[in-house]
Structure 1
Amino acid sequence: MTIDLVNAARRMLGPVGVSLPVSFTSTPSATAQRDAGRRLEQAGYRALWTNEVIGKDAFAHLSVLLAATERLTVGTCVANIWARPPQTAHGAAAYLAQAYPDRFVLGLGVGYPQQAESVGRPFGSPLATMRDYITGMDAETSPPAPDSSYPRILAANGPNMLALAGEISDGALPAGLPPEHTARARKTLGPDKLLVVGLSAVIDDDLDRARDTARQVFATWSARPPFRTTIAEFGYETTEDATPDDHVVDALVAHGTPDSIAGKIREHLAAGADHVTLLQPIGTEFASGIDGYVNIAPALSGVERR
């Protein structure tokens, strides 16, 4: 965990990336994934992220994307700690870093109690669980993992997990939150840590329709009590069943035209983010989601960190 590693990550990621559309009902074929990676690289994106749940291996997924592209940096947004032991996670990450130098970032998340239960493990305290996992990643194995470095960042929305990320990892990956949270995350982490922000995005030139979809995205996030607690700290009061005001939706979800989405990205970069990755609504059809990213790429090409 060095500033050199963080600065290298900042260079390779650039200011803007995209996360592959997520579905919990089907997985696009490897051929479709390869084609998507190539299209996004050709469109000018420098970074591509993928999620992970129990039953979907992010490392196998990213190995396909790395092999299919030439320069694209890939990352886990995020790898689920219940999917594998910590030593195995480090071994897989180091192997990808060895095979594709400066093209891999490991994002880790503690997930949810039901995911721990699905593999017969106790969830425990999220902070203690994550600390133990990071410590376990560096335990000796036989044979040892490749001697290859890579950035490790933690999914962290709440202040305690953000503080832990600053203490034991190379940075943090908060998601779904307003620029004010990004500013607080940067203050918590300090200047020498990597701050990747996941920004919910609805790509649609019809503003009314885009805002309606953005409202649905917000409703998915606000169904989680910790999320409501976090946004309330910044003056965005809501309840699980309430219809959010337009100003709340506008603050938390990028939506509308490519220029509107670029503007929201700039807000997070100005607040201290090193890199912003776009998150399309869960259930977005894969092919149309990739088309959307390609279509807005020209509008994002001039976005820069401040």
Structure 2
Amino acid sequence: MNTTADNAPAPGAGPALGPVGALLPVSFTSTPSADRQRDAAVRLEQAGYDAVWTNEVIGKDAFTQLAVLLAATRRVVFGTSIANIWAREPQTAHAAAALLAQAYPGQFVLGLGVGYPEQAAGTGREFGRPLATLRDYVHRMTVPASPPAADAVYPRILGANGPKMLALAGEIADGALPAGLPPEGTAEARALLGPDKLLVVALSVVPDQDPERAREAARQQAAASFSRPPFAAALARLGYPEHEIADVSDRVVDATIGHGGPDAIAAKVGEHLAAGADHVSLMLPIGTDFGTGIEQLEQLSPALSDLS
């Protein structure tokens, strides 16, 4: 559901996201070829995933990537997780999103995020106050342009972990996309958004049939996340003691990362759905080999098939 110029949600049903999707494996050091990405999207669709998500950093264009992938698949929904607001002007973002939504009705979700100060600096701009910056960006997306953007609606959700950003998502967007939080964070997000907004949860996962090895790999992933103050602050707000966050305790790892075999990861997905998520997107560790990551996601799919 796109938003109009006054930021009110537009009417209409959103895409049929289903309960579980997958984020394409992320690397900051290499980019898979278009052919490999097309093949991966087709394989994930055939494996039964309801949605495929992509990331974006400065220098990578999420809309071009999704145009390639949408053309290669038949039914799967694609979403940006997230499209970085520093990568393009607001009216350009809206025009690109609307054209994709017009070309592929019901198969596109726009996730937007303010990112980090270094990303703003990389484009020569000031990060400013995140809430005000994102509010202004969303407002300017639908300021009339000449020629006008395609006449199409699409869901717009905001990357949001903290209560203020979640409240903003509930006010000016169609939902939110929190990441890296335990199921309690999902429950908090649902309470702040209300019952009618789209809640997409990004869940970090470490697939490994050896439970101890999986937990240790998950601990490393959690430690990297909590090195950024907003993630640590979000966990503290949810009642986790400071020393457990700093030490990345077993309880913290088990709460925030889906790790182990397919059944264990499916159980963690189920916890987020029970806490109020509409859809859970699986995120492999950053730097996972692209081909290996797609195979892991395929192997997880059968255990996820009964979730609803």
> Which bin holds the TM-score, normalised by the shorter protein?
over 0.9
Structure 1 residue 238: Cα displacement: 3.9
- How far off its partner does 1:117 sit? 1.0
Residue equivalent to 1:269: 273
Letter in 1 for 2:49: Y
> What is the TM-score when the length of structure 1 is the normalising length?
0.96
Q: Secondary structure of the residue that 1:27 maps to in structure 2?
A: coil
Task: Provide Cα deviations, 1:213-245, integer angstroms capped at 9, x if missing partner.
Answer: 100110111101111111011222346994321
Equivalent residue in structure 2 for 1:158, among 159, 162, 167: 162
Distance in 2, matches of 1:240 and 1:142, equals 54
Instruction: Quote the residue 1:8 is aligned against.
Output: 14
Check conservation: 1:8, 1:102, Cα contact below 8 A: yes
Cα distance in structure 2, aligned partners of 1:163 and 1:241: 25
Contact conserved, 1:219 with 1:240, CA < 8 A, in 2? no
User: Residue 296 of structure 2: which of 280, 292, 298 is its match?
Assistant: 292
More deviation, 60-69/231-240: 231-240
| 1:67 has 2:71 as partner | yes
SS at match of 2:14: helix
Q: Which residue of 1 aligns with 2:46?
A: 42
1:197 alignment partner, SS class: strand
| Counterpart contact for 2:235–2:245, Cα < 8 Å | no
The whole-number CA distance in structure 2 between the counterparts of 1:302 and 1:18 is: 16
| Alignment root-mean-square deviation, CA | 1.3
Give the counterpart letter for 1:229 in structure 2: A
Quick check: 1:220 aligned with 2:221? no
Task: Quote how far apart the aligned CAs of 1:180 are.
Answer: 0.4
Provide the residue aligned with 1:230 in structure 2. Answer: 234
CA distance 1:239–1:91, shift in 2 (3 Å): farther
Give me the TM-score of the superposition, normalised by structure 2.
Answer: 0.95
CA distance in 1, matches of 2:150, 2:291: 36
Structure 1 residue identity aligned to 2:171:
E
Q: Is the 8 A contact 1:15 1:276 kept in 2?
A: yes
Q: CA deviation at 1:4?
A: 5.3
| More moved, 226-235 vs 145-154 | 226-235
Q: Describe the shift of the 1:252–1:140 C-alpha distance in structure 2 as closer, same or farther (beyond 3 A).
A: same
Contact 1:3 1:193 in 2 (8 A): no
Identity percentage of aligned residues: 64
Q: Does 1:81 align with 2:88?
A: no
Q: Please state whether the residue corresponding to 1:105 is helix, strand or coil.
A: strand
Matches within 5 A, 1:155-234: 155-234=159-238
Can you list the C-alpha shifts for 1:169-226, whole angstroms capped at 9, x where unaligned? 0000000000001001000000110000000000111111100110011011110111
Q: Separation in 1 of the partners of 2:180 and 2:132?
A: 24
- Any gaps of 5 or more consecutive residues in structure 1? none
Q: Please list every run of 5 or more consecutive structure 2 residues that lacks an aligned counterpart in the other structure.
A: 4-8
Which of the residues 10, 19, 23 maps onto 2:23? 19
Q: Give the whole-Å Cα distance in 1 for the aligned partners of 2:166 and 2:189.
A: 7
Segment drifting more, 236-245 vs 265-274: 236-245
Query: For the Cα contact (< 8 Å) 1:3–1:192, is it kept in 2?
Result: no
The answer for the alignment partner of 1:117 in structure 2 is: 121
Cα contact 1:228–1:239 (8 A) shared by 2: no
